[in-house]
Each structure stands twice: as structure tokens, then as C-alpha cells.
Amino acid sequence: MSLLRGLGRSASLAIGMLCALPVLADDITVATKYGDVKVSDQIQRIVTVHEGALDAAFALGFEPVGAISTRGGDGVASYIQDIAKKVDIVGTSRETNLEAVIAQRPDIILASYRLPAEQYALLSKIAPTIVPEGKGIRPDGWIREMRVYAKALNREQKAEEIIAQVSDRAADIKHVLEAKIPADKRGTSLIRWMPQGALVLTTQFFSNGLLAQAGFDVTDADLIKRGRPHSSPLSLENLSKIDNDWIFMATLDEEGQQALAAAQQSPAFARLDVVKRDQVVPVDGQLWTSASGPIAANAILDDIQNLLDTKVQYP
């Protein structure tokens, strides 16, 4: 079901539908990774091929008609399912189904900065395709992306209001955290448990950026090579490398959950100080290790706030 294979199977269908696309007015010019893109200021049908773009579009007041599935799932991430019930799936993070995108007759396509030039060339034949400039994995990457999407959707002021709201909320939570957790007890790491073992997520990761904004001291235990999103899988014998004051622990699917459950029965897992203190915090992997955007940010801040409200006592 790859993009190229999809094009090959249905070339005649694609051409027919492309010819039927409406002519868009050149009302807005957006600077993107692949040059300036002109879009109409009357966008109605949005297809997103990036989880962060789906999140941002909903936050800006739109209802996309197509989106890719989240990692480890068949639909959109669980945290956004309630508001994305009507969104049709047009592929995965690895493979976009060209036929499914064409069927949505989009006015615009919102993509990740990681979209390859080959795929951009195909998608941009269907509709104006917005690919933000990317500077690698960064805590504020979602903000950079959202500003580009907001420009394309003519909602720049609303985007700034949303970005400020997330920042203000994180600052409020930080005040609570600093009142409840001593400065030398705020160390944490974000772990994604896979069948191969534990992966430590980079401090530059979206959710780790929010943990830091909320007052935690986030570390990757020097296990990650520069520019990489996560470490290599850790064996049970090396679990002590991830021991910390707190650990936020995620899995992506049933297979990962089974692997984590098996590891939790091992002596190596039980020996971790963070386990003995009962400060391993289970979190939704689709939200914490795959999603991005302001709605995801608020859902992660909800989790942190809930932790402080229910598990951490005032000194």
C-alpha cells in the first residue's frame, strides 16, 4: 500500500479525480521546506499526514477529513479519538495511501517536516501540501509546525493564543511541582518499552520538553547518540542505567505491554530504586511517545497535574 504502489495501481483514477479538483484562489503564500506554496483563504477539506498536523488543525477550529493512524494503532491516537470520530484514515506514519488521499478531495494537505521530496512531489499534485522547515527533534518543534499550519489556515492569531495558553499552564504546574517535590528529587526519564527492551527517549522529545517546562529534571542518562530520538534497547541487566527519581513508562501496543509485564516480574526490574519507591508512572504511549501538538500538550499536562494531585503529598 505504499504511496508509489498506490499511484501505480490507480493512475487513471488519480488523473480523473485530479482533473476534477477545484481551482484554488491564490490568497495566502506560505514559506515551506519545499518553497513557497499558495493556498486559498477558504480552506474546507483538510487531510493531515502527520499526527501533529491533525492535532493542530483541530486546535485551530477545523475538522480534517483525513489523517494517518498513530503508531501501534489502526486509528488516530486514543487521546484525540473523541473529537476525530469522523476522520478517515489515509495511511500510516510510514506509508500514505494515495488513493485514500485523493478520495478525500482535499483543499490542502498538512505534512511533517520529515516528508521526503519524492512523496511531496506526489501529494502536491493532489492539493497544496504544507511541509514546515524542520530542525530535527526539538521540544519546541510542535510550536514551529503549528505556526506554519496556522499561516496556511489563516488562523495565526488563534495559534499564538493557544501556544501561550500551553506555556502558561506548564508554568502554573511548575509552581505546584516545586512546592511538592524537593529540588534534588525531580530527576526523571521517559521510557518506551518495546518487545526488544526499554528505549530511553531523548530529552529533545516533545513530551520531555513538557516535563521540563513543568519542573522535572529530564535526563537520557547519556544513552542516546546525538540527533537520535531514542537509545538502543536496554537489556534487563542494564536496567540500572535508567534508575531515577521518577520514570514515565509508555508502551505502544499489546506486544509492548506483554513485554513490559514480563520484565516487571524479573528481579532486575524489582531491584530498581524507582520501583521500590513506587514512582514508575505508566503513561499512554500513543500520546506521550508518538503525538505532538497543543491538544496533546494539554493531555500530557493533565497527566502531570493528576500525578501531583494524587501521588505526591505536600512536604
In a domain, 164, yes or no: no
Widest pairwise Cα distance in the chain: 69
Q: How many helices (H) and strands (E) does the chain have?
A: 13, 12
User: In terms of domains, do 149 and 204 share one?
Assistant: no
Decide if pLDDT at 11 tops 70.
no
User: In terms of domains, do 117 and 227 share one?
Assistant: no
Decide if pLDDT at 27 tops 50.
yes
| Residue-level pLDDT at 314 | 65
- Expressed as residue numbers, the domain containing 90 is 28-154
Q: How many domains does the chain have?
A: 2
In a domain, 161, yes or no: no
Tens digit of each residue's pLDDT (9 = 90 or more) over 168-189:
999 999 999 999 999 999 999 9
In a domain, 140, yes or no: yes
> Which residues partner with 56 through β-bridges?
none
β-pair type (187-194, 197-200): antiparallel
Q: Is 71 helix (H, G, I), strand (E, B) or coil?
A: coil
User: In terms of domains, do 74 and 117 share one?
Assistant: yes
Task: Tell me which of 31-40, 95-104, 267-276 is least confident.
Answer: 267-276
Using the structure block, give the residue that is written with the C-alpha cell 488516530.
76
In a domain, 12, yes or no: no
Q: What is the mean pLDDT of the chain?
A: 90
pTM summary value:
0.89
Q: What does the alpha-carbon distance between residue 121 and residue 27 come to, in Å, rounded to a whole number?
A: 22
User: In terms of domains, do 145 and 196 share one?
Assistant: no
Residue pair 106/45 in contact by the 8 Å Cβ criterion: yes
User: In terms of domains, do 149 and 201 share one?
Assistant: no
Tens digit of each residue's pLDDT (9 = 90 or more) over 197-231:
899 999 999 999 999 999 999 999 888 888 888 99
Q: What is the CATH number of the domain that holds 142?
A: 3.40.50.1980
Looking at 101, 119, 154, which one is the last position of a domain? 154
pLDDT band at 159 (very low <50, low <70, confident <90, very high): very high
| Residue-level pLDDT at 203 | 94
In a domain, 172, yes or no: no
In a domain, 11, yes or no: no
Tens digit of each residue's pLDDT (9 = 90 or more) over 109-131:
999 999 999 999 999 999 999 99
Looking at 154, 170, 191, which one is the last position of a domain? 154
